[in-house]
């Protein structure tokens, strides 16, 4: 086996062992073709093609953050979507497609999507700023730039996006439940996320084995990050492994569309290995349980995958226990990417949260 191919496979294995699906990479068309043994209703879905009005927002350290806005500026409610680790704003494809079609009698929401630093179209961060605390401040900058003063806001976060919301609550608790002020957080959705104890990540392995492998994974990912250019060139040589590992680690539904798996793998592969390595220590050291108190002042939705290997459902249950008024939904046969694996469940739950956060008066009938 050539050295470049070994590096490609090493990048996949190290990323999976260290941060789950983060470094799942590879050649996709062949793998997708081998998995497409049944009709695929998502084969013609325009993944990555739904676009809004582009906007560049400067973070507090001057880094440009890429943002897109959908919907009318005078909408009574703004929904801000925060994507997960190694992904980008396109991971909200189904919600972006379906939420603009409101229920009868309800207005169309305004939606804001942004790429977290070093992800998607946003600028590359200094390694020292690759922290969840910083992404929380980035979210604050996005809110200040995109939300109409005084308009209620619902924050939606998947995986690291949920952690960014918690970091925002930790630094700016006054925004949550405020009746007045420039920014009014009126609701929060936390999907496949955690507030801490990520160091206990097992990826479904026995705890003893997971703890034994953890230091090896840490070192491997750091070393791969130092050889980023070479590793990223080699990632495409991992072949079918990337598709198989992405499907295994990210999804639990055996009937998940191979096109959806392929779409997720493309987003992951677009994230450079050194970015994956830079953010990993911050995720493992996460401790944001104290940030749940301000979040608990507003309606909260907590969504979990019953077979999530990366943020197992006990993380979501723990969050919901601290937030007694939260709606907890656990999808038993689901993995780590509920917005793509069970989009209908996520979208329907978000509609309920939006109604709780900003109830509309019923129109009087004649």
Task: Give me the helix-helix angle, 28-35 and 240-250, nearest 10°.
Answer: 60
CB distance 182 to 144 below 8 Å: yes
β-partners of residue 64 are 58
Give the pLDDT score at 128: 95
Single pTM value for the model: 0.84
Cβ partners under 8 Å of residue 222, min gap 6: 277
Residues in the chain where the model's pLDDT stays below 50: 1-37, 202-214, 216, 220, 224-225, 230-231, 237, 239, 361-366
Outline where the chain has alpha helix (H). 3-19, 28-35, 93-98, 132-146, 160-171, 207-226, 228-234, 240-250, 258-269, 273-284, 292-295, 313-322, 338-341, 343-357
Q: What is the DSSP string of 270-285?
A: TS-HHHHHHHHHHHHT
Domains of the chain: 1-6+19-358 (3.40.50.1820)
Provide the pLDDT for residue 207.
Answer: 40
pLDDT at residue 23, rounded to an integer: 38
CA distance 78 to 70: 10
Which pLDDT does position 212 carry in this prediction? 41
Contact predicate 50/263, CB 8 Å: no
Nearest alpha-carbon partner for 320 in 333, 338, 301: 301
| pLDDT given at position 25 | 37
Looking at residue 64, its pLDDT comes to 98
Task: Count the alpha carbons within 13 Å of 24 in the hemisphere toward its beta carbon.
Answer: 29
| Helix (DSSP H) and strand (DSSP E) numbers for the chain | 14, 8
The torsion angle over the Cα atoms of residues 97, 98, 99 and 102, rounded to 10 degrees, is 130
Q: pLDDT at position 246, please?
A: 78
**What's the CA angle centered on 78, arms 76 and 79, to 5 degrees?**
140
Task: Look at residue 350 and give its three-state secondary structure.
Answer: helix
| pLDDT at residue 179, as a whole number | 80
Rounded to an integer, what distance in angstroms lies between the CA atom of residue 169 and that of residue 178?
12
């Amino acid at each position: 086996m050539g050295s470049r191919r070994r590096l490609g496979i090493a990048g996949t294995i190290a990323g999976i062992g260290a941060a789950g699906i983060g470094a799942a990479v590879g050649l996709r068309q062949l793998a997708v073709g081998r998995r497409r043994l049944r009709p695929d209703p998502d084969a013609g879905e325009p993944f990555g093609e739904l676009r809004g009005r582009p906007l560049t927002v400067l973070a507090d350290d001057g880094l440009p953050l890429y943002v897109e806005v959908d919907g009318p500026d005078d909408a009574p409610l703004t929904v801000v979507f925060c994507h997960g680790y190694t992904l980008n704003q396109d991971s909200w494809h189904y919600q972006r497609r379906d939420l603009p079609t409101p229920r009868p009698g309800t207005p169309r929401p305004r939606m804001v999507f942004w790429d977290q630093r070093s992800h998607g179209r946003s600028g590359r961060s200094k390694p020292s700023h690759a922290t969840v605390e910083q992404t929380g401040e980035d979210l604050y900058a996005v809110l200040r730039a995109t939300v109409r003063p005084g308009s209620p806001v619902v924050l939606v976060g998947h995986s690291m996006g949920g952690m960014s919301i918690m970091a925002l609550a930790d630094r700016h608790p006054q925004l949550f439940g405020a009746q007045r002020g420039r920014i009014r957080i009126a609701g929060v959705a936390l999907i496949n996320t955690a507030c801490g104890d990520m160091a206990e990540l097992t990826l479904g392995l026995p705890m003893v084995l997971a703890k034994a492998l953890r230091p090896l994974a840490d070192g491997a990912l750091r070393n791969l990050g130092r050889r980023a250019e070479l590793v990223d060139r080699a990632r495409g040589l991992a072949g079918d492994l990337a598709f198989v590992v992405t499907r295994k680690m990210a999804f639990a539904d055996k009937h998940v569309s191979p096109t959806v798996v392929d779409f997720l793998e493309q987003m992951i592969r677009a994230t450079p290995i050194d970015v994956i390595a830079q953010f990993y220590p911050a995720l493992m050291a996460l401790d944001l349980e104290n940030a749940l108190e301000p979040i608990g002042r507003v309606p909260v939705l907590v969504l979990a995958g019953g077979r999530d290997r990366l943020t197992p459902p006990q993380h979501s249950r723990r969050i919901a226990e601290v937030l007694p008024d939260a709606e907890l939904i656990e999808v038993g046969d689901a993995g780590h990417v509920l917005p793509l694996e069970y989009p209908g469940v996520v979208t329907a739950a978000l509609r309920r949260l939006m109604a709780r956060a900003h109830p509309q008066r019923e129109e009087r009938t004649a």
